[in-house]
Chain A
Amino acid sequence: MSGQRVDAKVVMLGKESVGKTSLVERYVHHRFLQGPYQNTIGAAFVAKAINVGGRNVILGIWDTAGSERYEAMSRIYYRGAKAAIVCYDLTDRSSFDRVKFWVNELQNFEENCRIYICGTKSDLVENDKSMRQVDFHDVQDYADEIKAHLCETSSKTGQSVDELFQKVAEDYVNYSDFQVQSEPKGVDLNSRRDLTSYTCCHH
């Protein structure tokens, strides 16, 4: 088990109980556990193989503790990560404010890590529009500004979950292929923008 090869490290960031673990659980085991409090589902580390254009990519998905008391340590978590999925709860404005904190951290300390912003619990919003506290277009503007990919998912219905991780894997393959070729020249920033400027969710 410990000898398992992992190609890319993907960290899940986000405030407590926004549904990071549910998202992973949904993606890996295709299930959603119902309960009064959904804070704790799934394992903290998952290695998942994804097929991208005939090539097998293994994502190591790292769940992180979202509590504010561990905020100071979050830097240790995302060190060397190829991608970060920053989650927020569509029905909780404060959780989106925390997204900005992690995005800042990532931009400052882990510039090679691509950022995916993920609004969770979209099923709740669909059932009752008044539940929505974070406007999609506001977030889209923000995502464009920081050149991040944005999507809204539901771990309950599975909406956009597989697409999100597929995209992470595809970007990793495209990007790392490019990196191998151009490594002597250094990192080409333009190529990064091209890779991260399109979205998988259409609203």
Chain B
Amino acid sequence: MSLKSERRAIHVDQSELLCKKGCGYYGNPAWQGFCSKCWREEYQKARQKQIQEDWELAERLQREEEEAYASSQGAQGGQTSLGFTKFEEKKSNEKARKVTTVKKFFTASSKSVPKKDPEEKSGKPVQAGGRERSADILRDLKGLFVPPWELASSAEVLYDKLRDMKEAKAPSPSLTRQYSIETDRVSKDFIEFLKTYHKAGHDVYKQCKVFLETIHHKKESNIDELSEFTQDFYQNTADKLQMYWKVPPNKVEEAMDQIEKFIMTRLYKHVFCPETTDDEKKDLTVQKRIRALHWVTPQMLCVPVNEDIPEVSDMVVKAITDIIEMDSKRIPRDKLACITGCSKQIFNAIRITKNEPASADDFLPTLIYIVLKANPPRLQSNIQYITRFCNPSRLMTGEDGYYFTNLCCAIAFIEKLDAQSLNLSEEEFSRYMSGQASPKKQDTDIWDADTCPGVKQMHRNLDLLSQLSERQERIVTGAKKLEKDLIDWTEEVTREVQDIVEKYPLHIKANSQALASIDSENVEDDRLPPPLQPQVYAG
């Protein structure tokens, strides 16, 4: 309801509201901007034709199925499943707009049905599965190459190719996808299951079919609307089974589980983490948050699980595997089962550690710890998907619901987690968050037996490195000391020498060379001029 009022509040320019064709009437986004009249002109004609063709095809297929079924299974019990396989075909080519080609394609293939009679029960489903697969392939190829409404000629070519393939009875394995195989299997199981419900089963199948078609047309609409629509469908179907068909309550539960499995296997691709929501963004936020909290220890959360006990650590590992596995399941109930499995492991782990059964006061912290350790992929998307599309009665009250609620709590706790909730000081918390300190470093000695060998090796290496650096430091200090000693020694020697020099000053005797030269023979003297002779000047 709030949704509607929100829409009302949006203001759009007048011109944007008008029909794209310019006829002057108002357009509607649902009609791709055309007004109702122009839209009808543009598209409805083609659609009408297509719908009619769909019906023709459906009827024809039903006739064929009836024949095939009657011949393979006899008249008895055939009534219940008359419409079922017909639907299989119809569903599979819902996307294939150029129906006539598909029709031809089916006609060709169905000719081989009578030949398969001797194979009886097993022969028929295989046939149907093969056909649906081929139809899937066709649909995919069409989707790849051409807009659906312009298909005509290329589809013809494809159809020919596919018919060749079909006639060779060996569809290329590369084209058969896991997805359609699983969908096939689920539908077959569903049909088999509904047979035990007789008329009610037939009715349920019809309801599911209508539901899936409606959803298919609504594909573009808001995820909350789809969710509401699905929840209504669960509710109505359950009510009808109980009130109208007088099915006992436990059988209703069983049927509802199967219905959920059937429709959600088909819808999963479209409604899990849809692009119209910010689920994916939230997934990333949670993932980053959990990564940032890698340092949280069991002691901080008061987790009553002792991983030193090998049995307990095994259970912790299993719990982590279970919660991670949740993402790989397609049906909400299977996802819930993973959460429940994880919770059971946790309970066992607590029971073994504490030697008594666990209460919620033990369970919730442990679950938080497991989620932090596991960092399950697409956590938020999975939670949203389960909330939106799980049968509400299961989610709100039962045991699965309890564990699911606890998981939601755990995530809420992780998102809001702060220093106080871990009994840490603000300063410690921010230091751990920024990676400046790690609480684990302080107790390196206490290593669990099960710790990953790589981590153990790493820590051994770290130890070695720290020893090495310590030794290096010692060497450096030694070297520095040596250097200092050397300098001191030099200085000391210099000082000592100076002292001695001062104490015993060096007396240098006067040079006697001048005297000696007088005595010596001097060659150069010979070249000197003769000594001056006294001269008498008359005067």
Task: Give chain A nearest CB distance to B289 CB in angstroms.
Answer: 16
Enumerate chain B residues within 8 angstroms of A2, measured Cβ to Cβ.
333, 336-337, 340, 398-400
Q: Which residues of A contact B399 (CB under 8 A)?
A: 1-2, 4, 6, 45, 47, 60
Q: Which chain A residues lie closer than 8 Å to B354 at the CB level?
A: 40
0 or 1 for each of A15-46: is its CB under 8 Å from B? (1 = yes): 01000110001000000010100011111110
Contact B359 A44 (CB under 8 A): yes
Contact A9/B397 with A40-B358, A72-B412 known, Cβ cut-off 8 Å: yes
On whether A80 and B396 interact (CB within 8 A), knowing A69-B421, A70-B409, the answer reads yes
Instruction: Give complex CA distance A70, B405 in Å.
Output: 13
Cβ-defined partner of A44 (8 Å) among B250, B356, B360, B408 = B360
Q: Which of A62-77 contact B (CB under 8 A)?
A: 62-67, 69-70, 72-73, 76-77
Complex CA distance for A70 and B333, rounded to whole angstroms: 27
State in angstroms the CA–CA spacing of A170 and B360 once bound together: 26
Q: A5-B253, A70-B409 are in contact. Are A20 and B359 (CB under 8 A)?
A: yes
Task: Note all chain B residues with C-beta closer than 8 A to A16.
Answer: 361
Whether A40 contacts B357 by the Cβ 8 Å rule is yes
Interface contact A60-B397, CB-CB below 8 Å: yes
Cβ contact within 8 Å between A65 and B397:
no
Residue numbers in A under 8 Å from B333 (CB-CB): 2
Interface residues of A, CB < 8 Å — how many?
A: 38
- The yes or no answer to A151 lying at the interface (CB within 8 A) is no
In angstroms, how far is the closest chain A Cβ from the Cβ of B242? 12
B347 at the interface (CB under 8 A from A): yes
Q: Are B397 and A7 interface neighbours, CB within 8 A?
A: yes
A113 contact set on B, CB distance < 8 A? none
B245 at the interface (CB under 8 A from A): no
Complex: chain A residue closest to B257, CB-CB: A3
Residue of A nearest to B400 (CB): A2
Cα distance A44–B340 in the bound complex, in angstroms: 12
Instruction: Tell which of A2, A33, A80 has the most Cβ of chain B within 10 Å.
Output: A2
A56 to B409, CA, bound (A): 31
Known: A62-B402, A64-B360, A77-B405. A6 touches B416 (CB 8 A): no
Q: Which residues of A contact B420 (CB under 8 A)?
A: 69
Partner of B402, one of A40, A45, A65: A45
Q: Is B304 an interface residue, CB under 8 A from the partner?
A: yes
Contact check, B360 vs A21: say whether CB atoms are below 8 A apart. Answer: yes
How would residues 75 to 105 of chain A score, 1 for a CB under 8 Å from any chain B CB and 0 otherwise? 0110110000000000000000000000000
At the interface, yes or no: B413 with Cβ under 8 Å from chain A?
Answer: yes
B257 to chain A, nearest CB (A): 7
**B360 touching A63 by the CB < 8 A rule?**
yes
Contact with A along B397-431 (1 / 0, CB 8 A): 11111110110110011001000110000000000
Which residue on chain B has the smallest CB distance to residue A33?
A: B356
Q: Which residues of A contact B364 (CB under 8 A)?
A: 65, 70
Q: Please tell me if A8 contacts chain B, counting CB pairs below 8 Å.
A: yes
The verdict on B184 contacting chain A, using a C-beta distance below 8 Å, is no
Q: State whether A66 touches B361 (Cβ < 8 A).
A: yes
B249 interface contact, C-beta 8 A = yes
CB pair B405 A76 closer than 8 Å: yes
A residues less than 8 Å from B413 (CB atoms): 69-70, 72-73
Q: Which 8 residue pairs of A and B lie closest in terms of their CB atoms, listed nearest first? A: A21-B359, A6-B397, A63-B360, A45-B402, A65-B364, A73-B409, A44-B360, A80-B396
Q: A9-B397, A40-B356 are in contact. List 5 more A-B contacts (CB 8 A).
A: A2-B340, A5-B253, A41-B356, A43-B347, A72-B416
Task: List A residues at the B interface (Cβ < 8 Å).
Answer: 1-9, 16, 20-21, 25, 33, 35, 39-45, 47, 60, 62-67, 69-70, 72-73, 76-77, 79-80
Sample 7 A-B pairs with CB under 8 A, ordered by A number. Answer: A2-B340, A5-B250, A6-B399, A9-B401, A60-B397, A64-B360, A65-B365
Which B residues lie at the A interface, using CB under 8 A? Answer: 249-250, 253-254, 257, 304, 333, 336-337, 340, 347, 350, 354, 356-365, 396-403, 405-406, 408-409, 412-413, 416, 420-421
